[in-house]
Chains A and B, each alone.
Chain A
Amino acid sequence: MINILIELGFALFSIVIALLVGIAFILLAGESPLDAYHALYIGSIGSWREFLNTLWRATPLIFTGFALALPFKAGLFNIGGEGQLLVGGFAAGFVGFYFTGIPGGLHVALAIIAAIAAGALWGLIPGILKAYKGAHEVITTIMLNYIAIQLTIRYGIERYRIGGRQALPTIQDSAKLLRFNDLAELPVVGSLPFIEAFALPGLRLHFNFILALLAALFLWYLLWKTTTGYELRAVGFNASAAEYGGISSKKTIILSMVIAGALAGLAGAGEALGTHHTFMSGMDAGLGFTGIAVALLGRNHPFGIVAAGILFGALSQGGLEMQFVGIPSEIVTIIQALVIFFVAGLQMLKWFLLKQREKGEAE
């Protein structure tokens, strides 16, 4: 419990420092920090609708955060969230527009399954190469990111696009992921009390957020309540000791990468089926890399990642409002990068303090 509080304290501390340093960038832009952060607040959690839109922004970040965190528990660094998201998004967008005449629920499900399969494949490749060939996963996943960009954004869109827009054709209505503001129009659900709280114009939150929460529960259960999860963490602590204890580190490595790829693929599915209703150029928008920061800030714990994802989602959503009042929204990106530096740096500070204490005890 104390440990969790310390972790939380460190996370909050690094965000506060990042926001403080961010002031310098706001001043340099000739703007008032007070106005900027007020806009950030108003735009992210200032109203019920903006809060829900913050959750919408957070959804893909939570998934890509998971995609880093799970292999990390097994001692692997999955930089490939970006590529896994892209192939997932492309698969979902493709199934969504290419097939017609499939009933609503089934079509969405098929598109999501396609995204999961494509993402999992993009995780399987580096997993196998790491397990059987020892190829460094950081490099192979980076390469796969760029292969994914060429295959989906460059080649895939070029092959199927209609007109000048850099996107696949719009998906069929039957493949659209349910949005929260459509809830009130549904037959049974629509008559529930308070459902009109979601019927807001401009609300973009869709059901992938619910899937993200379910994924958090699934990961928590997998990691701490199942043998597979135990094996995964054991390999992460000490691969050779785990191997000695009868755990196949090869199997564990591959499994963690496949699940990670599937989760990042889901992020892509949500963007394609819920947010944009198509697969388009630029829809990845660095979500895979920001997910690394989210996982780091969330201390690689499923629930921590949900919280960190919402925080980063709030920053992106609030950044829009900042742009609206004339302050460069890139300050938000800068703050996100600063958070990474401070979390990584503070982690070392903690390690250093621990070391000092051990030394003191030894003497």
Chain B
Amino acid sequence: METIAQMFTLPLLLISFRYATPLILAALGGVFNERSGVINIALEGMMLFGAFAAVYGSGVTGNPWIGVLYSIGAGLAFALILAIVCVTFKADQIVVATGINIFASGLTIYFLQVLYGVAGTSPRAPRLPSIRILGMRYNPITLIAVALVPIVWFILFKTPWGLRIRSIGEHPSAADTLGINVNRYRFICVLISGALAGLAGAHLSIGEFSAFVREMSQGRGFIALAAMIFGKWHPVGAFGAALLFGYAEAISIRVDFAFIPSELIRAIPYVLTIIVLAGFIGKAIPPKAIGKPYFKGED
């Protein structure tokens, strides 16, 4: 009974937003690229590189906000690889994204050694200021993430631009017939998702912490992917799922369960995603053209 009471305290619910922040950002990015028909399993690598770049930028300039810009730039740089190789040259999206994840892991540890001469944790860098809301400290990236949810919803569902993105993901050749430049839209959507994943990395390294630790993204890019699917490719749904997964992480760390090991609680997001994907609770249907490169003049 006490455990259950612990599970629903206000601080626990409030802190869930902090755990959920990187998931929200990367999941929103994922909504963009998947709605346009591109799979991005490189969110993980983009987040990791963003986390490193944030610490580097913050450390070099002494200004954590410049670090945030660096993280966005880092996410964009990796997204550019994915966009050029997969959208422009139409190589396999899964293969290239896997390459990006391996690249991110190698590159960040390489930079740790070359720039700082360490193998595990970077020197400390100035972190973002925190803001107190309802007694809970948040860094500004959490607020940005929450604010982005309605903005992304508005762009995708209330603007012609969003309509075009969604039509490209469902039926690219029909969109092409209407004069929409399919590959240009996909290119831009991949870049947006890279920028958001990079920003998610900054939250981990200079938002919640003040250094970079090797492999610090710890699969959050993949949980974000799961949140996006669980939220059925909808920004508000993805936000809700990210919050739920963030909550799962929060209770697994902060609540002591007598009857179930906390390690197993952390597996819940993944199990839920499989269940939803298999259609056991409400079917999750991906955009129709997902994962397929678009060639003009073919069907």
**Is B53 located at the chain interface by the 8 A CB criterion?**
no
* New contact pairs (11) apart from A147-B271, A344-B91, CB-CB < 8 Å: A77-B94, A133-B279, A139-B229, A143-B274, A155-B263, A290-B102, A328-B113, A331-B106, A334-B107, A341-B103, A348-B90
What residues of B have a CB within 8 angstroms of the CB of A30 in the complex?
114
Task: Say yes or no: A337-B91 contact (C-beta < 8 A), given A129-B277, A143-B226, A150-B264.
Answer: no
**Is A188 located at the chain interface by the 8 A CB criterion?**
no
Chain B residue, CB-CB nearest to A132: B278
Contact A79 B264 (CB under 8 A): no
A167, chain B: closest CB distance, angstroms: 16
Task: Say yes or no: A341-B110 contact (C-beta < 8 A), given A135-B274, A146-B270, A289-B98.
Answer: no
Within 8 A of B (CB), among A36-86: 77, 79
Contact B266 A29 (CB under 8 A): no
**Is A303 located at the chain interface by the 8 A CB criterion?**
no
**Is A362 located at the chain interface by the 8 A CB criterion?**
no
What residues of A have a CB within 8 angstroms of the CB of B222 in the complex?
142-143, 145-146
**Is B238 located at the chain interface by the 8 A CB criterion?**
no
**Is A286 located at the chain interface by the 8 A CB criterion?**
yes
**Is A293 located at the chain interface by the 8 A CB criterion?**
yes
What residues of A have a CB within 8 angstroms of the CB of B90 in the complex?
348
Can you list, as one digit per residue, whether each of A327-360 has a CB less than 8 Å from chain B (1) or not (0)? 0101111101110110011011100000000000
Contact B109 A330 (CB under 8 A): yes
Within 8 A of B (CB), among A291-340: 292-293, 296, 328, 330-334, 336-338, 340
**Is B259 located at the chain interface by the 8 A CB criterion?**
no
Within 8 A of A (CB), among B251-287: 261, 263-264, 266-267, 270-271, 273-274, 277-279, 286
What residues of A have a CB within 8 angstroms of the CB of B91 in the complex?
344-345, 347-348
What residues make up the interface of A, taking CB atoms closer than 8 Å to B? 25, 28-30, 77, 79, 125, 129, 133-136, 138-140, 142-147, 149-151, 154-155, 158-159, 286, 289-290, 292-293, 296, 328, 330-334, 336-338, 340-341, 344-345, 347-349
What residues of B have a CB within 8 angstroms of the CB of A159 in the complex?
261
Q: Which one of B95, B222, B264, B266 has the highest number of Cβ atoms from chain A below 10 Å of its Cβ?
A: B95
Contact B98 A79 (CB under 8 A): yes
Q: Which one of A28, A150, A334 has the highest number of Cβ atoms from chain B below 10 Å of its Cβ?
A: A150
Q: Which one of A140, A290, A332, A333 has the highest number of Cβ atoms from chain B below 10 Å of its Cβ?
A: A333
Question: How far does the alpha carbon of A167 sit from the alpha carbon of B274 in the complex, in Å?
Answer: 28
Contact B41 A138 (CB under 8 A): yes
Question: How far does the alpha carbon of A159 sit from the alpha carbon of B264 in the complex, in Å?
Answer: 12
What residues make up the interface of B, taking CB atoms closer than 8 Å to A? 39, 41, 81, 85, 89-92, 94-96, 98-103, 105-107, 109-110, 113-114, 219, 222-223, 225-226, 229, 261, 263-264, 266-267, 270-271, 273-274, 277-279, 286
What residues of A have a CB within 8 angstroms of the CB of B102 in the complex?
286, 289-290, 293, 333, 336-337, 340
Question: How far does the alpha carbon of A332 sit from the alpha carbon of B113 in the complex, in Å?
Answer: 14
Task: Say yes or no: A328-B114 contact (C-beta < 8 A), given A139-B277, A337-B103.
Answer: yes
Task: Say yes or no: A135-B41 contact (C-beta < 8 A), given A147-B267, A337-B102.
Answer: no
Contact B95 A333 (CB under 8 A): no
Contact B274 A331 (CB under 8 A): no
Q: What is the interface of chain B mostly: helix, strand, loop, or mixed?
A: helix
28 contacts between A and B (CB under 8 A): A29-B114, A77-B94, A136-B277, A138-B39, A139-B226, A139-B273, A142-B226, A144-B274, A145-B222, A146-B223, A146-B267, A146-B270, A150-B263, A150-B267, A151-B263, A155-B264, A286-B105, A289-B98, A292-B95, A296-B95, A330-B109, A330-B113, A331-B110, A333-B102, A334-B103, A341-B81, A344-B96, A348-B89
Question: How far does the alpha carbon of A79 sit from the alpha carbon of B44 in the complex, in Å?
Answer: 14
Candidates B106, B263, B266; contact of A334 at CB < 8 Å: B106
Task: Say yes or no: A333-B114 contact (C-beta < 8 A), given A140-B274, A293-B98, A344-B95.
Answer: no
B267, chain A: closest CB distance, angstroms: 4
Contact A337 B267 (CB under 8 A): no
What residues of A have a CB within 8 angstroms of the CB of B263 in the complex?
150-151, 154-155, 158
Candidates B89, B101, B113; contact of A29 at CB < 8 Å: B113
A30, chain B: closest CB distance, angstroms: 8
Question: How far does the alpha carbon of A139 sit from the alpha carbon of B114 in the complex, in Å?
Answer: 35
B112, chain A: closest CB distance, angstroms: 9
Question: How far does the alpha carbon of A16 sit from the alpha carbon of B60 in the complex, in Å?
Answer: 35
Contact A139 B278 (CB under 8 A): no
Task: Say yes or no: A150-B41 contact (C-beta < 8 A), given A140-B274, A336-B102, A344-B91.
Answer: no
Question: How far does the alpha carbon of A136 sit from the alpha carbon of B292 in the complex, in Å?
Answer: 14
A345, chain B: closest CB distance, angstroms: 6
Chain A residue, CB-CB nearest to B267: A150
Chain B residue, CB-CB nearest to A141: B274
What residues of A have a CB within 8 angstroms of the CB of B225 in the complex?
139, 142
B178, chain A: closest CB distance, angstroms: 25
Q: Which one of A134, A149, A330, A334 has the highest number of Cβ atoms from chain B below 10 Å of its Cβ?
A: A330
What residues of A have a CB within 8 angstroms of the CB of B96 in the complex?
340-341, 344
Task: Say yes or no: A143-B273 contact (C-beta < 8 A), given A336-B106, A341-B99.
Answer: yes
Chain A residue, CB-CB nearest to B95: A344
